[in-house]
Structure 1
Amino acid sequence: MTFKLTALSLISTYGYYGLYLSLAMGILGLPIPDETILTFTGFYVAEGHLNFALSIFIAFLGSISGMSISFLIGRKIGLPFLQRFGKFLHLTPDRLNTAQVWFDKYKGFSLIFGYFVPGFRHISAYMAGISRLNFLTFLTFASVGAMSWVITFISVGRFVGKDWERIGELFHRNLWFILIMCLITILISYRYKFKHHKIN
């Protein structure tokens, strides 16, 4: 049984406990499509099996737990350990190098945006620990990112209902492209409104 099916089974069988465990393990680096898990949760909310607000809270706790453990691993063990054993958590050398450059440039903000980039959210907390970021600062940025992320995808799953799997997989595979398109759309809209306001 794949990690995805195992995670979905955990949520179907154990509800909030399964949701918490699935997200914590996914953030740590197990090959679990986190967006799919969250959209499935939203579908379960729409079907009346889970509560919307409580699902968001539990998903938030699972995400923060996984991020905090990753942070502590990065701080206590460091980059050499991840370079040697990271492959078991799908942390390839290229991903680690890219994440380190990203984190050095954007610091805590990379923890917020990192949630929305598959493959990077699993590494950003490790890099925060390796970089000796203050834990309270880390927790603040990570919490903002986690809450934004879980609200977004649980809401999507709740809205699309039975199409949760197709939409979840679409987001998981193409999220980076979708984010760029959204950003371009926002910038174009802002520029248009600014020019229109200036003319008036």
Structure 2
Amino acid sequence: MEQHLDYLIEHFGYFGIIIVLVGGIVGVPIPDEVLLTYVGYNVFQGKLSYIISLISAFIGATGGISLSYFVGYKFGLPLLKKFGPKFHITEEKIDKTSALFYKIGPALLLIGYFIPGVRHLTAYIAAIDKYPFKKFVGYAYTGALLWSFTFITLGKILGEEWHKIGFYLSKYHVYPILVIVLSMIIIVYLFLKKKSNKLME
């Protein structure tokens, strides 16, 4: 895996990150979190720029989820059920994601990136339900930014230990990552609230 990621970054750089993430979000079975963490590791090594890596990942993620939305909006559920199995998107996964979307609403677009098997489907389900694109963008693009920032930053912080992310994801699934993300959201919210209160004084 590491050799493939090395080849991707060495030969295609930031453009490679964008293209792979577009494919990964649309549904191609790619270990996106591993890729992002490895990008963070390359930032740690000084091979890539942190800011440009974040921008590239954000463009790739938003490009992929926007493409998924338009495909779902134009072709609907029949296309997803017909071709989905080729990308490991089964009817069971579709039904589970649909039920989750109905239960928690567009918030799933925000956190869905962090749930393997769900991030590939949230845009399709939103589009099939005719969820307005402008509202879709607000949730989906914010989620893309949080997701990219989380894993690239973790890779940068972990450095030589970047591969541990893959281990934790396979052993404990996604829960530790969700805890980290929620903690980050709370910290940012409290910081902005404190700053706002100071400006009003």
CA RMSD of aligned residues (A): 2.4
* Residue of structure 2 in register with 1:96 after alignment: 94
2:36 is the alignment partner of 1:38? yes
- Give TM-score scaled by structure 1 length: 0.84
- Quote how far apart the aligned CAs of 1:128 are: 0.9
Residues 146 and 181 of structure 2 are in contact (CA less than 8 Å); yes or no, is this contact kept in structure 1? no
Q: Can you list the C-alpha shifts for 1:64-99, whole angstroms capped at 9, x where unaligned?
A: 000001001111111122112210121111100001
Letter in 1 for 2:86: F
1: CA distance, partners of 2:38 / 2:81: 33
* Residue of structure 2 in register with 1:194 after alignment: none
2:112 is the alignment partner of 1:114? yes
SS of 1:42's partner is helix
* Residue of structure 2 in register with 1:138 after alignment: 136
Residues 114 and 178 of structure 2 are in contact (CA less than 8 Å); yes or no, is this contact kept in structure 1? no
- Quote how far apart the aligned CAs of 1:12 are: 2.7
Unaligned runs of 5+ in 2: 185-201
| From 154, 165, 171, the counterpart of 2:163 | 165
- Are the structure 2 counterparts of residues 89 and 43 from structure 1 closer, same or farther at C-alpha, using a change threshold of 3 Å? same
Residues 33 and 172 of structure 1 are in contact (CA less than 8 Å); yes or no, is this contact kept in structure 2? no
Letter in 2 for 1:71: Y
- Give TM-score scaled by structure 2 length: 0.83
Letter in 1 for 2:81: Q
Residues 111 and 142 of structure 1 are in contact (CA less than 8 Å); yes or no, is this contact kept in structure 2? yes
Identical positions, percent: 35
Residues 150 and 181 of structure 2 are in contact (CA less than 8 Å); yes or no, is this contact kept in structure 1? no
Unaligned runs of 5+ in 1: 187-200
Instruction: Judge which range, 83-92 or 54-63, deviates more.
Output: 83-92
Residues 14-25 of structure 1: pairs in structure 2 closer than 5 A: 14-25=12-23
Letter in 2 for 1:93: E
Residues 156-195 of structure 1: pairs in structure 2 closer than 5 A: 156-171=154-169, 174-179=172-177
SS of 2:29's partner is coil
Residues 103 and 124 of structure 1 are in contact (CA less than 8 Å); yes or no, is this contact kept in structure 2? yes
* Residue of structure 2 in register with 1:28 after alignment: 26
1: CA distance, partners of 2:136 / 2:182: 28
Residues 10 and 22 of structure 1 are in contact (CA less than 8 Å); yes or no, is this contact kept in structure 2? no
2:79 is the alignment partner of 1:87? no
- Are the structure 2 counterparts of residues 112 and 14 from structure 1 closer, same or farther at C-alpha, using a change threshold of 3 Å? same
- Quote how far apart the aligned CAs of 1:9 are: 2.4
Q: Can you list the C-alpha shifts for 1:107-164, whole angstroms capped at 9, x where unaligned?
A: 2110001011011001101111111111111111001101111111000000111222
* Residue of structure 2 in register with 1:154 after alignment: 152
